[in-house]
Amino acid sequence: MELNSNFNGRFANKLQVGLTSFRDARDAKSSPFPVVNINKDGVRYIVAGHEPFSINNRLSQDVFQVTNNFNIFAGKHTLTLGASFERFSFDNSFNLNAFDGTFGPGFGSVSEFVTASKSADYKKIVDAAKATAAKNSWALAETNVGQLGIYAQDEVVVNNRLNLSYGLRVDLPMFFDTQTKIDESIKRNCCYDPAIQYYNADGQPIKLDSRELPGTAPLISPRVSFNYKMTGSSTLRGGTGVFTGRFPFVWIGNQVANPNFFFYTTTDPSFKFPQVWKTSLGYDYKFASGWNTSVDLLYGYDLQNMMVRNYGLRTPSATLKGIDNRRTYAAADRSTVFGGPTNAYVFTNVSGGYSFNGSIQVQRTWSTNLFMSLAYNYLKAVDKSSTDSEISSDSFDRQPTTGNANTPVSGNSQFGNTHRVVGTLGKKFVYGDGRWATTISAVAEYAKGGRFSYTYFGDLNNDGSGLNDLLYIPTNAQIDQMRFAGTDAQQVMQKAGFKAFVAQDEYLSSRQGQYAERYASLSPLYSNWDVRILQDYNFANKRQLQFSLDILNAGNLLSSNWGIRQIASYTGLAQPLGVGVDATNTPTYSFDTNVRSTFFNDTQLTSRWRMQVGVRLTF
């Protein structure tokens, strides 16, 4: 709902109220059954059985929003005083490992699984999965959070060439009854123990309390911008300021849902919502021929980004043996419960990342209803944490490192394309005395990005993650010194295969004898063409009926060899080498000799053509 009010042209007010409800649910297309992990050479190689992430997965969301802007028109000044309130209510049922087996330890081989599957004990595990489903008693995490923003802005017409805007926004996080919901979750679950000894990012002893939520200190965001008409055909514009983003509230939901010591998730009490300082500068020029040109520069600095740390880890004190002598975690470096290592995933802040965007665009619209544009964008983005998961353990596991897993390493961001070219071309045909109109347009995109890191498949440093250990890229002589799994003949084949794999990869072959860097590798250039057809009919009473047809990745419709993207990994982590470490801290490696190329065809939707139709009535 929206209410607009005007008071004699001197004051105006806009009130907006909205409620949005989402009801999402999914179930795996399989009967209740344990997750089957089968290992090879000490690492997980086959995952079968029930898909573990979709077991009675339910998410209900209600978002209530109120925004009010009050404007004061005072000569050259337009003042805006406003407030915005958002309340988010989540009911999340996520039942990872409800049918057992998700976290292993798994079976040592296919034959070991076949033997075990015939036993009476395994039948009990299968029956237990069926009983769990029949009980229909699932986990539920209820979370109610929000954000209140108060702001003031002054837009000043300094003269007929210069406009200036400046303002201040203050955001306040709100957690309502979240602490009560955590208490309810603790009562429903076993094993909550705030007395367990954990360690902070510096390795110092610390106790964690799931009931303690982040602080609600105000987040202040000052901003200023300008628009200067240099001539009748050129404009210079820019601005600088602080922008506050929303915290992914599913992470607070993780804290509500996981108070158990064996999968402990919490948030640092000093955690702050993400903030970035952005500065922009743009220039527009309109040629007499009708062409428009824009150049934009944008720089952003992370005042506080998000990072998940594992407070179940101290500082690593052991050293790996062999060609790779990185620091690793000894048994004494891990927090333990009942004699075994335990993890505590804590959402914290990290600062220091930056991004630079530079773009240029030319465009024109002709009197014949023909239009076109062509743009290029360059991106350089560096951060200390590229978080891409809603699950706390995954967020930690996917942060590549070579040393202390809780110490952020500055490197390329996982997100964004380094080079991107986008072009549009279209024409509108009007006929039938203006009642009918057909628009045919196309958008072409060429981009090089898809950043990924090279890591080992296996927990090389004993931090609890089998994903995050950056690869040491050995020289050919060092490969000969490495111990591979299998017989002597199999080792010879794996060494030869790995040498060939390194040689065919531009990045690996250029860094032999060094560690791989965070997200330093790029996937090949890809292209994508989208086509749109609009058919309009204009009624006499100014109503319009429009039918639309969109063909996404149209090149793939014409040829199955076009529009296909090549990637090195679906997760952003390419793992050519498996690794296992014995009690003496000596690694044993494994390489699949069938793998001869870094990149493979992405079979997801982005590599397939899609078509969608729509209808719209405007009145």
Q: What is the DSSP letter of 181?
A: H
- Which amino acid makes up residue 226? F
Query: Residue 55 and residue 133: Cα distance in Å, rounded?
Result: 9
- pLDDT higher than threshold 90 for residue 431: yes
pLDDT of residue 392: 85
Reading the block at residue 130, the tokens are 């069926």
- The pLDDT of 458-473, averaged and rounded, is 94
Is the pLDDT assigned to residue 125 strictly greater than 70? Answer: yes
- Whether cis (ω within 30° of 0) applies to the bond prior to 105 is yes
167 with 152: CB under 8 angstroms?
yes
* Beta carbons within 8 Å of 220's beta carbon, 6+ residues apart: 168, 169, 170, 242
Average pLDDT over residues 138-147: 89
The lowest-confidence range among 33-37, 211-215, 247-251, 404-408 is: 247-251
Spans of all domains in the chain: 1-139
- SS3 category, 258: coil
Residues 471 and 516 sit within 8 Å (Cβ to Cβ): yes
Whether residue 283 is predicted with pLDDT greater than 80 in this model: the reply is yes
Query: In terms of pLDDT, which residue wins out, 183 or 226?
Result: 226
d(CA 55, CA 75): 62
Q: Are strands 419-431 and 411-412 parallel, antiparallel or unpaired?
A: unpaired
Assign 202 a pLDDT band (cuts: 50, 70, 90).
Answer: confident
- Whether the pLDDT of residue 231 is over 80: the answer is yes
What are 389-424's pLDDT values in tens digits? 878 888 999 999 998 999 998 999 999 999 999 999
What confidence tens digit (pLDDT) does each residue in 25-34 have? 998 888 999 9
Q: What is the pLDDT of residues 529-563, one digit of tens each?
A: 999 999 999 998 889 999 999 999 999 999 999 99
Bridge partners (DSSP) listed for residue 167: 153, 223
Give percent above pLDDT 90 in the chain: 76
User: How much is the pLDDT for 488?
Assistant: 95
Q: Calculate the alpha carbon distances from 1 to 4, 89, 94, 408 in Å.
A: 10, 20, 34, 45
* Residue 251 pLDDT: 79
Binning pLDDT at 50, 70 and 90, where does residue 35 land?
Answer: very high
Question: 452 pLDDT exceeds 80?
Answer: yes
Q: What pLDDT was estimated at residue 158?
A: 96
- The predicted structure's pLDDT at residue 264: 85
pLDDT of residue 42: 61
Structure tokens at 377: 């964008």
Mean pLDDT of the chain, nearest integer: 93
Within 8 A by CB and 6+ apart from 562, the residues are 527, 555, 556
The pLDDT of residue 50 is above 70: yes
Higher pLDDT, 476 or 136: 476
Task: Please give the share of the chain, as a percent, with pLDDT higher than 70.
Answer: 99
Distances (CA, A) of 234 to 155, 228, 229, 283, 548: 21, 9, 6, 7, 36
Band of the pLDDT at 41, cuts 50, 70, 90?
low
- What's the one-letter identity of residue 619? F
The reported pLDDT for the residue numbered 564 is: 95
Span 490-515, mean pLDDT?
Answer: 97
Rounded to whole angstroms, the Cα distance separating 278 from 273 reads 16
The pLDDT of residue 444 is 97
Q: Report pLDDT for 246.
A: 79
Q: Please determine, for residue 499, whether its predicted confidence score (pLDDT) is greater than 80.
A: yes
Dihedral in degrees, nearest 10, Cα atoms 129, 133, 134, 137: 120
The rounded distance, in Å, linking the Cα atoms of 415 and 355 is: 11
Total-model pTM: 0.87
Burial class (CB in 10 A: 0-12, 13-18, 19+), 148: middle
What's the mean pLDDT in 232-236? 95
Q: Is 111 helix (H, G, I), strand (E, B) or coil?
A: helix
| pLDDT tops 80 at residue 44 | no
